[in-house]
Amino acid sequence: MTATFVSTESPAAAGVPPTSEPSGILATLHDWVVTVDHKRLGIMYVVTGLVFLVIGGIEAFVMRLQLAWSGLTLVPPDTFNRLFTVHGTTMVFLVGIPIVFGFANYLVPLMIGARDLAFPRLNAFGFWILLFGGALLYFSFIGGDGLYGAGSAPAVGWFAYAPLTERAFTPGNATDYWNLSVLVTGFGTIATAINLIATIATMRAPGMTLGRMPVYVWTMLTVSAMTLLILPPLSAAQIMLLLDRFLGAHYFDTQAGGSAIIWQHFFWFFGHPEVYVLMVPGFGFVSEIIPVFSRKVIFGYATLVAATVSIGAVSFSTWAHHMFAVGMGGTLNSFFAASTMLVAVPTGVKIFNWLATMYGGKLRFRTPLLFCCAFLFQFLCAGLTGIMLSVAPFNWQLTDSYFVVAHFHFVLFGALVFTIFAAIYYWFPKATGRMLSERLGRWHFWLLVIGFNLTFVTMHVPGVLGMPRRIYTYPADRGWDTLNLITTLGVPIQALAVLVFAVNVLYSLRRGAPAGDNPWEAWTLEWATTSPPPAYNFATLPPVTSRRPLWDTQHPDDPDGPHE
């Protein structure tokens, strides 16, 4: 099918019943606002995430300019605190979560051959409450002064350690906006996670057994289950903080015997598994893309699935490795160091799965595979610095330094964002009916790889030299100037890469080559329907007798089933 993007927006093509209202931009907007279709909500989630990615990126850009060399006064210290707080909150709750769950919205029903998610209206609720949460966070820039006039936008850091967040230390309403924003986006995420679990548990196509589900669906099942266990504790902690700030409770009030440390426990019990909630779907993208572009089945499906579930399970016992510096004692430090290192085992299994899938394959180096290759290298580096930081004495030396900042940006940017771009290049043809430009895709890829590594490889070094994170400037005599300048120089290159990507999307929506149903010759069910899929997804489903139903229909003489 060669339907254009424009036609996906028209009510008739999307199967929305024609209304008496006039067609045009208002009618289109109305259709998108009232939709409960998982594909439209998925696209809205991802677009929301990308818009916030640009906003969060601009905040990072300003911070990097301020740190480019010593003694700059581009932004005052208070503003710098607000920038890193809002940057962190944005990137985790308004970029990572919506993009991860947006893709799941779009892909999970298609991959398992379902008509929609189990609860479409709950799904729409999840999206709109998340958008509302994002609006709350950014409203704090104008509304956060409150009656106290004590500053706008939260400045407590994205993990908002107590007792800094108590009313006595952060008056005004900015911290409350941060709190409510995180709380309501959390409700939306919990709703979506329940929805995904119910969908995967009850709505799989005939023949789609658990053992035949695409690895990506397994990753989403895992992270949805994790979400149900980790996000409510964060909500509970946020509610406790609200009680402290508004009703005079003392949960985190050290003056009344409350504990500042327990906030860290509550927050990181959410915060660390959250990293896996964001990253494991990225593993899912890679596990779908690498086999298709290597023209092979995924190597070791069962071990990949087992590794995915293991990462989810082990992630619940690793949270306090964020807290080695608070003095938990030898026993707890040893336990959390060991459990953190344990995560490296299933993660290593996955890396070997992907490499073994590529080994001996007929590699097609299109843009999605390029991003996956960069992911493999960068994720390996991220994992190695992660193991370094899990060693408690090493961690004491480098805690809260730029080494840590470089480490988790390698995870969330070098690994997660790269897999997200791979996924966008891979599934954009399915969602819009048009291919993204390969030429612009290569520019995007190489600029991003160069810019990213220039910034974040370099950033490790000032960390080892002792540069703490969250300082707005530094003295000239520390030997950090050149390194910081190089770090900052990488940022405009990354910005240019994202600009190329934006141009690519806008250009390809209008002029991109028609995609057809299955442009990559892939094997999972989403490629069995038209591009873009109709509102009902599938007119008829191919029989599912193996993990690669489309291979079976194309090669009836050599079906996969007997080999699995």
Q: Considering the rule CB under 8 A, would residue 74 count as an interface residue with other proteins?
A: no
Q: Which of 7, 70, 79, 235 binds other proteins (CB under 8 A)?
A: 235
Stretch that binds other proteins, among 149-157, 227-235, 401-409, 481-489 (CB under 8 A): 227-235
Q: Do 99 and 50 meet the contact criterion of CB atoms below 8 Å apart?
A: yes
Binder of other proteins out of 203, 376, 391, 541 (CB under 8 A): 203
Tell me the C-alpha distance between 442 and 497, whole Å. 10
Of residues 90-129, those binding other proteins (CB under 8 A): 114, 118-119, 122
- Residue 1 binds to other proteins (criterion: CB under 8 A): no
By the 10 Å C-beta count (0-12 exposed, 13-18 middle, 19+ buried), 25 is classed as exposed
Query: Of the candidates 27, 62, 74, 228, which one interacts with other proteins according to CB under 8 A?
Result: 228
Q: Which of 410, 378, 404 is nearest to 389 (CA)?
A: 404
Single out the residue of 175, 48, 45, 53 nearest to residue 448, CA to CA.
53
Of the pair 222, 437, the CB lying nearest other proteins is at 222
| Interaction between residue 388 and other proteins (CB under 8 A) | no
Q: Which of these ranges, 66-74, 241-249, 407-415, 521-529, lies near other proteins under the rule CB under 8 A?
A: 241-249
Q: How far is CA 344 from CA 283, 331, 347, 385, in A?
A: 14, 21, 5, 11
Query: Under a CB-based contact definition with an 8 Å cutoff, are residues 103 and 489 in contact?
Result: no
Asked if 219 and 132 touch (Cβ cutoff 8 Å), the reply is no
**Closest CB to other proteins among residues 27, 194:** 194
CA–CA separation, 101 and 120 (whole Å) = 14
Query: Which of 194/489 has CB closer to other proteins?
Result: 194
Adjacent-strand bridge partners of 372: none
Residue 213 interacts with other proteins (CB under 8 A): yes or no: no
Question: Given candidates 15, 76, 211, 248, which one binds other proteins under the rule CB under 8 A?
Answer: 248
- CB contact at 8 A, 74 and 159: no
| Contact criterion met (CB below 8 Å) for 462 and 430 | no
- Judged by CB under 8 A, the residue of 12, 168, 210, 236 near other proteins is 236
Task: Select from 1, 51, 62, 243 the one that contacts other proteins (CB under 8 A).
Answer: 243
Q: Does 83 bind other proteins (CB under 8 A)?
A: no
Please, what is the minimum distance in Å from the beta carbon of residue 233 to other proteins? 5
The sign of the torsion formed by the CA atoms of 312, 316, 319, 320 equals: negative
3-state SS class at 201: helix
Q: Name the residue among 169, 316, 185 with its Cα closest to residue 238.
A: 185
Among 1, 13, 197, 541, binds other proteins (CB under 8 A): 197
Cβ closest to other proteins, residue 255 vs residue 331: 255
Among 27, 198, 349, 465, binds other proteins (CB under 8 A): 198
Nearest approach, Cβ of residue 232 and other proteins (Å): 4
- The nearer residue to other proteins, 234 or 505, going by C-beta atoms, is 234
Task: Rule CB under 8 A: say whether 331 interacts with other proteins.
Answer: no
Q: Rule CB under 8 A: is residue 218 a binding residue for other proteins?
A: no
CB of 267 to other proteins, least distance (A): 11
Cβ nearer to other proteins, comparing 7 with 235: 235
> Does residue number 233 form part of the binding site for other proteins (CB under 8 A)?
yes
Q: By CB under 8 A, is residue 316 in contact with other proteins?
A: no
**135 Cβ partners below 8 Å, 6+ apart?**
none
Cα–Cα distance, 234 to 319 (Å, whole number): 13
Per CB under 8 A, does 201 bind other proteins?
Answer: yes
State the minimum distance, in angstroms, from the CB of residue 165 to other proteins: 15
Collapsed DSSP state (helix, strand, coil) of residue 514: strand
194 binding other proteins? (CB under 8 A) = yes
Q: Which of 16, 190, 292, 505 binds other proteins (CB under 8 A)?
A: 190
Q: Cα 311 to chain center, whole Å? A: 17
Element (H, E) at 233: helix 215-247
Nearer of residues 122 and 309 to other proteins, judged by Cβ: 122
Q: What's the CA gap between 368 and 107, in Å, rounded? A: 16
- What's the DSSP call for residue 205? P
Residue 149 has which token pair?
């006039």
Site string for other proteins, 250-279 (x = CB under 8 A): xx----xxxx--x---x-------------
CA 341 to the chain's CA centroid: 23
Q: What length does the chain have?
A: 564
Residue 237 binds other proteins, judged by CB under 8 A: yes
The C-alpha atoms of residue 492 and residue 452 are separated, in whole angstroms, by 10
Does residue 232 interact with other proteins by CB under 8 A? Answer: yes
Q: Which residues bind other proteins (CB under 8 A)?
A: 114, 118-119, 122, 190, 193-195, 197-199, 201-204, 228-233, 235-237, 239-240, 243, 247-251, 256-259, 262, 266
